[in-house]
Amino acid sequence: MLEVPFPTLESWVGYFVQAQLPVLRHTLQKLDELRDNAENVNGRVLSSIILQDPLMTLRVLAYIEAKRGQRQSTDITTIERALMMIGVGPFFRDFDQLPLVEETLKPYPKALLGLLRVIARARKAARWAREWAVIRHDLDIDEITVAALLRDVAEILIWCFAPTLALQVKEMQTRDRNLRSAIAQTQVYNVTDEDLQLALTKTWHLPELLTTLMDRQNAEHPRVRNVTLAVDLARHSANGWDDAALPDDYTAIEDLLHIGHDTLMRKLGLIDANAPEDEGKAQI
C-alpha cells in the first residue's frame, strides 16, 4: 500500500501498470457459479457480470489488448466482443484466482467503503449513459456504457492502492465542499485523477475510441458529452440531490437529449412518472 505519493505522473503510471488489479468478491462469486457449466455460458451473460465491476472490465480490456496479434487492426471496444475473441473456456481459465478488493482493503474499512461508493457511482453513470445513448440512437451503446463505467477508474485504483491518501482527499473535500477535486488531488497525490486516467488508458493501449470518449476535452462530440454528463451527474448527485452543480447538469443533459426538464426529472425518478405535469413541478 502506498503511504507516500509518487512525485510524478510517470511514476504513478509505472506503479499501476505493474500492479495486480483486484476485483470485487461478488464478481468472482458470480463467475464461479457459471464456471462448472462453462460450455453453456454465452458472452452476453458473462458480459453482464463483468460490466458490474469496473476493475474486472479494465482487466478484460487490458488482457485482450496485450494478446492482440500484430495483424489485428480493429480495436476491441466492448466486453462482449472481447469475450468473443478470448473464448469462454480460455476466459474461465485465465480469470481465476484473482485478488479481491475486499481482502486488499481489509485493514482499511473506511477506504473500502469509499471505494464501493465510487464503484456504485460508476455503475450509475454507466446506466444513465446507456439509457441516453438509446434515446440518441447511438450507433454502439455498449461503447458508451464501457467508457462511462471506466471514466473514473484512476480514482478507483487510488482507493485500492493508496487508501490513506484517498481518505485525505475525501476529508479535505468534506471539510470544504467548495474545494475543487483537482486542487485537492494535486496537493495530496502530486497529480490529478484526470491526468492519471488518460495516461493509464494510453499506457495500457486501451482502444483509442474509448480513450477519446473518456476525455472531456473532446466534449464537442455528442458521444463524449453523453459519457461526460452521465459521469458528472453521478458524481454530483452522490453529494445529494441538492448539490449546487446539478441545475447546470440538467440543462446540459436536456440540450443533449432534446427533452424538457419535466421529462428528464421523470427519467431520473425525481418526480412520479405518472404525476400530472403541474404536480411534478410542485414536487421539485
CATH number at residue 234: 1.10.3210.10
Find the mean pLDDT for residues 154-158.
Answer: 97
Residue range(s) defining the domain that contains residue 251: 107-283
Asked if 23 contacts 31 with a C-beta cutoff of 8 angstroms, the reply is: no
Q: Tell me: pLDDT of 4 over 70.
A: yes
Q: Examine the domain organization and report whether 240 and 211 are in the same domain.
A: yes
Q: Is 16 within the bounds of a domain?
A: no
Residues 188, 133: Cα–Cα separation, whole Å: 36
Structural domain total, the chain: 2
Does the pLDDT value for residue 99 go beyond 70? yes
* Within-domain flag for 188: yes
112 with 53, same domain: the answer is no
- Identify whether residues 74 and 146 lie together within a single domain: no
- Angle subtended by helix axes 43-50 and 54-67, to nearest 10: 120
Q: What is the pLDDT of residue 40?
A: 87
Do 113 and 237 belong to one domain? yes
**Percentage of the chain with pLDDT > 90?**
82
Residues 119 and 162 both lie in one domain: yes
| CA atoms within a 13 Å half-sphere pointing along the CA-CB vector of 2 | 22
- Regarding whether 169 and 40 lie in a shared domain, the answer is no
**pTM score, whole prediction:** 0.92
Mean pLDDT of 64-73: 70
Please check the confidence at residue 150 and state whether its pLDDT lies above 70. Answer: yes
pLDDT averaged over every residue in the chain = 92
The model's pLDDT over 111-125, given as tens digits with 9 standing for 90+, comes to 999 999 999 999 999
157 plus 246 within the same structural domain: yes
Spatial distance between the Cα atoms of 237 and 240, rounded to a whole number of angstroms: 5
- For residues 39-61, give the mean pLDDT: 94
- Rounded to whole angstroms, how far apart are CA atoms 144 and 229? 12
Percent pLDDT > 70 in the chain is: 94
* Residues in CB range of 132: below 8 A, 6 or more apart: 144, 226, 229, 230, 253, 256, 257
Cell, residue 228? 461526460
Partner residues linked to 111 by β-bridges: none
